[in-house]
């Protein structure tokens, strides 16, 4: 019996209930009517008389130690709130809100553009960002001394001046014409690079989406109707377009395409510099030289091409004034586009 008393005494000394529920467990185990100490008192009746004094003294000490510990802990834990609330998860609490990321505005606008042209049968073509002179310039009819080849416009690779970062995704059109037979109807979205100082209106890299359609009997009418459909789907049904004569080495005739100003509806304002029109892209009929360079019979086939900057389209649509915002990754800017 003495062994048991010593064992319980050691247990009681070591035990450290951390909350009221654990303390109640302690009380029931050692001090309740059917607890371990009461059981010892029951058994004490059978202890031979000559041992009663010694064992009785130890047993009383054990009981007192347990009661003292209980009282002390009750005091210590009295500041703790209701056991159930402290110890159990409160399922009625609102959850911690998830911070869900948002799509980048350029990604959203690119996909919106693709979605519109896909309805007209265009499919996606991609190509390398590091290009050779042929695909970026020569096949596209750039003259040997064309200024776009100059160091101030293009990032060349020092060790090999035949290799450059592509300046437009027209290079993907060349690659497609070289490997596919007409009819060809592709869109080439992608990142392009130009050796420009970084300002609110220019950057050393940006994104383009270019289109190419080659078939028999393709004419300027097809180009104009395709771009009008795009402009009205993207900017709104009331949008009008106009074409101004321009020059690109790879198209003839070449045009710049304007849309009626979204802000003033054509009346004239700061955004359109009081002209009523804003430029959205370059376009034209593919120059026969380009078709021949890519192995396509220019007597049989004609085609149109167009190219726009995704940043520019996004800035026009959402009145964004600074190009740098697209690459700064400021979440206060990016979060505004989750629903477009
Ligand atoms: N490649 C031209 C540019 O980067 C855009 C363009 C594409 C113009 C197709 C006409 C036809 O500016």
Tens of pLDDT, residue by residue over 251-305, are 999 999 999 998 888 888 888 889 999 999 999 999 999 999 999 999 999 999 9
Q: Is the CB of 287 under 6 A from ligand 1?
A: no
Q: Whose CA is nearest to atom 8 of ligand 1?
A: 282
Is residue 83 scored above 80 in pLDDT? no
Rounded Cα gap, residues 227 and 83, in angstroms:
70
Q: What percent of the chain has pLDDT over 90?
A: 62
User: What is the percentage of the chain residues whose pLDDT exceeds 70?
Assistant: 96
- Within 10 Å of residue 270's Cβ, how many Cβ atoms? 9
Q: What is the pLDDT of residue 86?
A: 54
What pLDDT digit, counting tens, does each position of 136-155 carry? 999 999 988 887 777 668 99
pLDDT digits (tens, 9 = 90+) for 20-59: 888 889 899 999 998 999 998 998 988 888 888 889 999 9
For the cut 60, the answer to whether the pLDDT of residue 234 exceeds it is: yes
pLDDT at 81: 61
Pocket test for ligand 1, best of 168, 174, 304 (most atoms within 8 A of CB): 168
Task: Label residue 89 by pLDDT band (50, 70, 90).
Answer: confident
Kindly report the average pLDDT of the chain as a whole number.
Answer: 91
Q: Is 248 in the pocket of ligand 1 (CB under 6 A)?
A: yes
- Model confidence at 209, pLDDT cuts 50, 70, 90, reads very high
Query: pTM of the full predicted structure?
Result: 0.71
Q: Is the pLDDT of residue 85 over 60?
A: no
Question: How much is the average pLDDT of 215-230?
Answer: 97
ω into residue 253 within 30 of 0, thus cis?
yes
- State CA 74 to chain mean position distance: 54
Residue 196 in tokens: 């420009």
Residue 322: per-residue pLDDT = 92
What pLDDT does 18 receive? 83
C-alpha of residue 170 to centroid of ligand 1, in Å: 7
Tens-digit pLDDT profile for residues 101-140 = 889 999 999 999 999 999 999 999 999 999 999 999 999 9
CB of 283 closer than 6 angstroms to any ligand 1 atom: yes
Atom of ligand 1 nearest to the CA of 304: 11
* Cα 15 from chain centre: 53
Q: Sorting pLDDT into bands at 50, 70 and 90, what band is 339?
A: low
Residues 6+ apart with CB under 8 A from 57: none
Tokens of 1: 């019996």
For residue 153, the model assigns a pLDDT of 85
pLDDT (0 to 100) of residue 82: 54
């Amino acid at each position: 019996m003495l062994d048991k008393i010593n064992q319980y005494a050691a247990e009681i000394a070591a035990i450290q209930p951390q909350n009221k529920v654990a303390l109640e467990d302690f009380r029931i185990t050692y001090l309740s009517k059917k607890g371990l100490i009461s059981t010892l008192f029951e058994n004490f009746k059978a202890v031979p008389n000559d041992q009663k004094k010694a064992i009785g003294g130890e047993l009383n000490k054990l009981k007192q130690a347990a009661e003292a510990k209980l009282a002390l802990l009750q005091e210590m834990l009295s500041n703790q709130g209701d056991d159930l609330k402290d110890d159990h998860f409160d399922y009625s609490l609102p959850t911690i809100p998830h911070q869900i990321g948002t799509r980048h505005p350029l990604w959203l606008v690119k996909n919106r553009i693709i979605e519109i042209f896909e309805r007209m049968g265009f499919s996606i073509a991609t190509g390398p960002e590091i290009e050779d002179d042929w695909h970026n310039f020569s096949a596209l009819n750039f003259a040997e001394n064309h200024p776009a080849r100059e160091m101030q416009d293009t990032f060349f690779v020092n060790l090999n001046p035949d290799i450059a970062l592509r300046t437009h995704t027209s290079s993907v059109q060349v690659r497609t014409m070289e490997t596919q037979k007409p009819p060809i109807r592709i869109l080439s979205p992608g990142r392009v690079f130009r050796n420009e100082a970084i300002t609110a209106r220019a950057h050393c890299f940006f994104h383009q989406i270019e289109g190419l359609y080659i078939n028999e009997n393709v004419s300027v009418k097809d180009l104009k109707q395709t771009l009008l459909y795009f402009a009205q789907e993207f900017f709104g049904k009331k949008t009008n377009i106009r074409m101004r004569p321009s020059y690109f080495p790879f198209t003839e005739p070449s045009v710049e395409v304007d849309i009626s100003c979204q802000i003033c509806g054509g009346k004239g304002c700061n955004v359109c510099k009081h002209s009523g029109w804003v430029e959205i892209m370059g376009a034209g009929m593919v120059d026969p030289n380009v078709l021949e360079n890519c192995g396509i019979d220019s007597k049989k086939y004609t085609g149109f091409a167009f190219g726009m900057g995704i940043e520019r389209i996004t800035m026009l649509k959402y009145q964004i004034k600074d190009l740098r915002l697209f690459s700064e990754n400021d979440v206060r800017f990016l979060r505004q586009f989750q629903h477009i």
